[in-house]
A and B are shown apart, each in its own frame.
Chain A
């Protein structure tokens, strides 16, 4: 969310995490909490990027693997991995990231609109690039990621498969 800094310049608060060598940022308003990696129960018949479900204090929430979702190489689990629990309009979804770097305030002036040069699978969720002293942070729109995940889920539910199977048996 945009906020006024002391200098009177508006700024955003973002949660910065890493995937591979890149840094990503999401609006802090869409992040509910960050939890350590835990055992994730797989849900059958879901696309690969759906890692499964976890118990978040009595609530069952889906967990997505952002690496798989973006089509990056799979990384073996390690102790730095975190689940960023996001809340978009009450829909709670966990997202696995390599590590969480920090929460940062980034002045609006340091944010550039996404360059057309940046392409790739994540291009559609890009909202901008934030430049800080030591890194470039790719800003993501969580709600777009989840909407996209939903679309991909639906696409992968095989329509006629079931009836054909029935004819089979």
Chain B
């Protein structure tokens, strides 16, 4: 048994996040690799991901993960060096590695028993020995120390080094090692590169700046630069970066590997420093070629800095005197980074240092608090108008009214800010879809080209969570029921490979997500037949439905057109759940289909969900909130006589005859029972048709905070949630699309 790692530690959490990201990234890269086999950039990325995971696992002593990723890394290295070809069987092997890593990650995060790597390792070994062309697995090899020096360089970097050599320059590599398990490694790495770029010409780095921006940073960083003479200055500068434990400079030969006779910089008190760091920092495996400079959290490194030149001088001047203490080290040094970073041609400056990871529960808390603020502000407005109405308090009422207006502006801005902080790109869930479609189509014997656009579209995290399962379901349907087998497609004169396109884009205040396929389309007659067979509708009722209405049947609970449940489409989850999930976040879903040509499922989602404008209405003595977005118009019909057509009340609005439905009635199961007390009608759209919803009174339009009512009440038809009114009472928010 491996001793359990410190599961509560920050590093552990960071590792799990990183692992998840790496697995997802690699999955996407593998799917791409299948399309363009042998792409060196993709292979490098996959390699790098394995390496990053390995590094993280090693730091936490998670040996199984180290073994698996190391074995894979070895294979991939053979691919990179050209001694092995990355064919489909290797891609499949990599997919099983990813699957294992996923299970492993889940086990790590839940504390459940971890999967055994034995059979996977055997599979990898078998694979590697079956067509062994490279060195094979070296499991006894010390993996935690496996550093950048063992790897060949990515082609673009190699090229720029060669160019530099060709131009007679003297490239060198700055190797930096960070403290084990230090946080913000990407920020540190970024700082190092920024410093290097100030002092020398940076050719590139391992990991690359792109990888650093993606947080794919291990404990080691190599920065390739010219000219080599700047090395000394660089070591001094870089030594001041937080969490750097080891810096050394080596000249670079033809293939990017260090050559003998290294230059290096040494601080004034190397011995004491070495002592300081010996306990925590394994020394780089570079015995003779270079002198090493260890930099602890003390100020020793500055000795060499002070006499080395202007730019670095500034850095050391800025450093506080008590650098020996670790307490305020971070806070005192961080602000200096911007002063050093001005002219950096090679380093792209993105928002790396300006983004912060925030716990979602904190955001939720802020959101709830702002929600309360909005409610209280509304209350204040009400008090103000009361005061204004009475002569003796009119002036005070005026003042409070102004205050309330100010408060409104501020709270609105605050609200919008928090809402924006909750936005996430769809990438978060889209990333796994290429793999999903690939696996499904393989299972179903279909050939599918999967295209994805708009994965950068941002949506509120609640919405993103709510559409994950529905999208999986829709994609499954598209593969399983939509796309035909290659033979069938050929018979129909279609290309054997089907197309599934997932796209997302903004439209006004909404985001549209669409899944299109060019498959067989939905057989509407079969849908009707199935609905009758399952007892959902009578044969008579079904025969009256037009095509669009019939398509709606697939959203009924318990409906599924598959003759028999298959492994892929499964049982139990259906389009009803899709619709329900979307309904929860005020989204809608629509299906269009053309026989033989394909199906399009469109989802329309609000950008954010938690706050909405709503009309507060009174019906049967209770206040209900109706989202303003679903009300087209409000009509006062108190003066008019009600017309009835076939005993059903109707009203005429600008020459249009509309059915008049009682809100109270429809909630109680007697929709045509319009009471005498009803004065107003809300014109709302129910699908394509307009209807009038009769209510007793209007209270007003307000911004309301949407509250969930708990699992127990989450599936009530026509009820979208609840809100808390100014008087503290909760009110039900109605979803008029599902009232009737």
Q: Which residues of A contact B (CB under 8 A)?
A: 39, 41-46, 50, 53-55, 58-62, 91-93, 146, 149-150, 153-154, 157, 159-160, 162-167, 169
List 11 extra interface pairs beyond A44-B716, A146-B712, CB under 8 A: A41-B731, A42-B622, A43-B716, A55-B724, A59-B707, A91-B710, A92-B710, A157-B717, A162-B717, A163-B556, A169-B691
Contacts of A54 in B (CB 8 A): 730
Q: Mark B529-571, 1 if CB is under 8 A from A, else 0.
A: 0000001110001001100010011001110000000000000
A164 and B724 contact, Cβ closer than 8 Å, known pairs A43-B709, A50-B712, A60-B707: no
Question: Interface of chain A, helix or strand or loop or mixed?
Answer: mixed
Question: Interface of chain B, helix or strand or loop or mixed?
Answer: mixed
Give Cα A43–Cα B623 distance, bound, in whole angstroms.
11
Q: Mark B519-537, 1 if CB is under 8 A from A, else 0.
A: 0000000000000000111
Q: Which residue of A lies closest to B710 (CB)?
A: A62
Q: Are A41 and B730 in contact (CB under 8 A)?
A: yes
Q: Which residue of A lies closest to B375 (CB)?
A: A58
User: Min CB distance, B537 to chain A, in Å?
Assistant: 6
Q: Which residue of B lies closest to A167 (CB)?
A: B541
Q: Are B729 and A60 in contact (CB under 8 A)?
A: no
User: Min CB distance, B418 to chain A, in Å?
Assistant: 16
Contacts of B713 in A (CB 8 A): 43, 46, 50, 53, 62, 153
* Partner of A53 from B558, B728, B732, B740 at Cβ < 8 Å: B732
Q: Which residue of B lies closest to A59 (CB)?
A: B707
Q: Are A41 and B717 in contact (CB under 8 A)?
A: no
Give Cα A162–Cα B717 distance, bound, in whole angstroms.
10
Q: Which residues of B contact A (CB under 8 A)?
A: 368, 371-372, 535-537, 541, 544-545, 549, 552-553, 556-558, 622, 659, 667-668, 671, 691, 707-713, 715-719, 721-724, 728-732, 738, 740
Contacts of B712 in A (CB 8 A): 50, 62, 91, 93, 146, 149-150, 153
Q: Are B536 and A60 in contact (CB under 8 A)?
A: no
Contacts of A166 in B (CB 8 A): 549, 552, 740
Contacts of A154 in B (CB 8 A): 715
Contacts of A169 in B (CB 8 A): 659, 691, 740
User: Min CB distance, A166 to chain B, in Å?
Assistant: 7
Q: Are B717 and A163 in contact (CB under 8 A)?
A: no
* Partner of B537 from A53, A92, A93, A160 at Cβ < 8 Å: A160
Contacts of A167 in B (CB 8 A): 541, 544-545, 549
Q: Can you name 23 A-B residue pairings with CB atoms under 8 Å? A: A41-B730, A43-B719, A44-B718, A44-B719, A45-B719, A53-B722, A53-B730, A60-B707, A60-B722, A61-B709, A91-B711, A150-B712, A153-B713, A153-B716, A157-B717, A159-B557, A159-B558, A160-B556, A163-B537, A163-B556, A164-B537, A166-B552, A167-B544
Give Cα A157–Cα B713 distance, bound, in whole angstroms.
11
User: Min CB distance, B350 to chain A, in Å?
Assistant: 38
Q: Are A150 and B711 in contact (CB under 8 A)?
A: yes
User: Min CB distance, A46 to chain B, in Å?
Assistant: 6
Contacts of A46 in B (CB 8 A): 713, 716
User: Min CB distance, A18 to chain B, in Å?
Assistant: 24
User: Min CB distance, B438 to chain A, in Å?
Assistant: 36
Give Cα A150–Cα B716 distance, bound, in whole angstroms.
11
Contacts of B536 in A (CB 8 A): 159-160, 163
Contacts of B731 in A (CB 8 A): 41
Give Cα A68–Cα B553 distance, bound, in whole angstroms.
35
Q: Are A164 and B541 in contact (CB under 8 A)?
A: yes
Give Cα A146–Cα B710 distance, bound, in whole angstroms.
12
8 shortest interchain CB distances as A-B pairs:
A44-B667, A60-B707, A60-B722, A53-B730, A62-B712, A160-B536, A55-B730, A41-B730
Contacts of A157 in B (CB 8 A): 715-717
Q: Are A39 and B729 in contact (CB under 8 A)?
A: yes
Give Cα A159–Cα B730 distance, bound, in whole angstroms.
28
Give Cα A54–Cα B710 distance, bound, in whole angstroms.
12
Give Cα A153–Cα B711 distance, bound, in whole angstroms.
11
Give Cα A44–Cα B556 distance, bound, in whole angstroms.
21
Give Cα A110–Cα B368 distance, bound, in whole angstroms.
45
Contacts of A61 in B (CB 8 A): 709-710
Q: Are B707 and A163 in contact (CB under 8 A)?
A: no
Q: Are A62 and B709 in contact (CB under 8 A)?
A: yes
User: Min CB distance, B428 to chain A, in Å?
Assistant: 24
User: Min CB distance, A61 to chain B, in Å?
Assistant: 6
Give Cα A138–Cα B133 distance, bound, in whole angstroms.
74
Give Cα A149–Cα B716 distance, bound, in whole angstroms.
13
Give Cα A93–Cα B712 distance, bound, in whole angstroms.
8
User: Min CB distance, A156 to chain B, in Å?
Assistant: 10
Give Cα A61–Cα B721 distance, bound, in whole angstroms.
11
A45 and B556 contact, Cβ closer than 8 Å, known pairs A55-B724, A159-B536: no
Give Cα A50–Cα B723 distance, bound, in whole angstroms.
18
Give Cα A62–Cα B716 distance, bound, in whole angstroms.
12
Give Cα A157–Cα B558 distance, bound, in whole angstroms.
13
Q: Are A41 and B732 in contact (CB under 8 A)?
A: yes
Q: Which residue of B lies closest to A64 (CB)?
A: B712
Q: Are B622 and A163 in contact (CB under 8 A)?
A: no
Contacts of A50 in B (CB 8 A): 712-713
Interface centre among B667, B671, B721, B732 (most CB of A within 10 A): B732
Q: Which residue of A lies closest to B553 (CB)?
A: A163
Q: Which residue of A lies closest to B689 (CB)?
A: A169
Q: Are B708 and A60 in contact (CB under 8 A)?
A: yes
A153 and B715 contact, Cβ closer than 8 Å, known pairs A60-B724, A167-B545, A169-B659: yes
Give Cα A44–Cα B711 distance, bound, in whole angstroms.
16
Contacts of B544 in A (CB 8 A): 167
User: Min CB distance, B444 to chain A, in Å?
Assistant: 30
Q: Are B719 and A165 in contact (CB under 8 A)?
A: no
Q: Are A58 and B372 in contact (CB under 8 A)?
A: yes
Give Cα A143–Cα B294 distance, bound, in whole angstroms.
59
Contacts of B710 in A (CB 8 A): 60-62, 91-93
Contacts of B558 in A (CB 8 A): 159
Contacts of A41 in B (CB 8 A): 622, 722, 729-732
Give Cα A91–Cα B558 distance, bound, in whole angstroms.
27
Give Cα A54–Cα B549 distance, bound, in whole angstroms.
38
Interface centre among B552, B708, B721, B730 (most CB of A within 10 A): B730
Give Cα A3–Cα B710 distance, bound, in whole angstroms.
31
Contacts of B721 in A (CB 8 A): 60
Give Cα A60–Cα B720 distance, bound, in whole angstroms.
13
Q: Which residue of A lies closest to B705 (CB)?
A: A58
User: Min CB distance, B709 to chain A, in Å?
Assistant: 5
Contacts of A42 in B (CB 8 A): 622
Give Cα A41–Cα B728 distance, bound, in whole angstroms.
11
Contacts of A39 in B (CB 8 A): 729
User: Min CB distance, B475 to chain A, in Å?
Assistant: 26
* Partner of B730 from A60, A92, A146, A165 at Cβ < 8 Å: A60
Contacts of B740 in A (CB 8 A): 162, 165-166, 169
Contacts of B659 in A (CB 8 A): 169
Contacts of B711 in A (CB 8 A): 91, 150
Q: Which residue of B lies closest to A46 (CB)?
A: B716
Give Cα A14–Cα B535 distance, bound, in whole angstroms.
47
Contacts of B730 in A (CB 8 A): 41, 53-55, 60
Q: Which residue of B lies closest to A164 (CB)?
A: B541
User: Min CB distance, B550 to chain A, in Å?
Assistant: 10
Give Cα A59–Cα B535 distance, bound, in whole angstroms.
40
* Partner of B668 from A44, A55, A62, A149 at Cβ < 8 Å: A44
Give Cα A12–Cα B712 distance, bound, in whole angstroms.
28
Contacts of B723 in A (CB 8 A): 60
Contacts of B718 in A (CB 8 A): 44-45
Give Cα A159–Cα B722 distance, bound, in whole angstroms.
23
Contacts of B553 in A (CB 8 A): 163
User: Min CB distance, B589 to chain A, in Å?
Assistant: 15
